[in-house]
Amino acid sequence: MSKICIINTRPPYGSTAAKDALDTALVSASYDQDTSLLFLGDGIYQLMKGQQPEALPQKNPGAMFQALEMYGIENVLLCLEDMLDRGLQESDLTIPVQLLARKEIGGWLGQQDRVFNF
């Protein structure tokens, strides 16, 4: 079983990157790959509670994140400094995450067999 990390760096709206990353993670996990998600920079906004995308031609990704556990995706990681830089707290997020300090991210990625950046 390969370890696959999907890095999310883009905000939830304005492009299909967030949806593409989530779709990639779900497909990977459905093939029994050890799949994790890492949220960096503006990608953290994908996990925010209370999004209201009704005025946009895109769906709210928050509902799909609830399916991660069903697909066996247990490692959802977030850069602590990026979260704090954006004035967010864990309670602002739709799902539980593991916080990593920026200096720990390289070590985490070094343990992965494949890394995809969105």
Helix extents (H) in the chain: 17-30, 62-65, 80-85, 102-110
Q: Which tokens is 63 given?
A: 């509902």
- pLDDT at residue 98 in the model: 98
Q: Give ∠ CA 82-118-28 in degrees, rounded to 5.
A: 115
As a whole number, mean pLDDT of residues 26-44 equals 97
pLDDT of residue 56: 66
Counting residues of the chain whose pLDDT is more than 90, the rounded percentage is 78
User: What are the angstrom distances between the C-alpha of 80 and each of 20, 45, 76?
Assistant: 24, 13, 13
**What range defines the domain where residue 72 resides?**
3-117
73 Rama sector, left if φ>0, alpha if ψ -120 to 50, beta otherwise: beta
The structural domain count of the chain equals 1
Contact by Cβ (8 Å): 46, 78: no
Helix-, strand-, coil-residue percentages of the chain, each rounded to 5: 40, 20, 40
Is the model's pLDDT at 97 over the cut of 80? yes
Give the mean pLDDT of the chain: 92
- Residue 85 sits in a domain whose CATH number is 3.40.1260.10
3-state DSSP call for residue 89?
coil
* 43-91 tens-digit pLDDT: 999 999 877 666 666 666 667 888 899 999 999 999 999 999 999 999 9
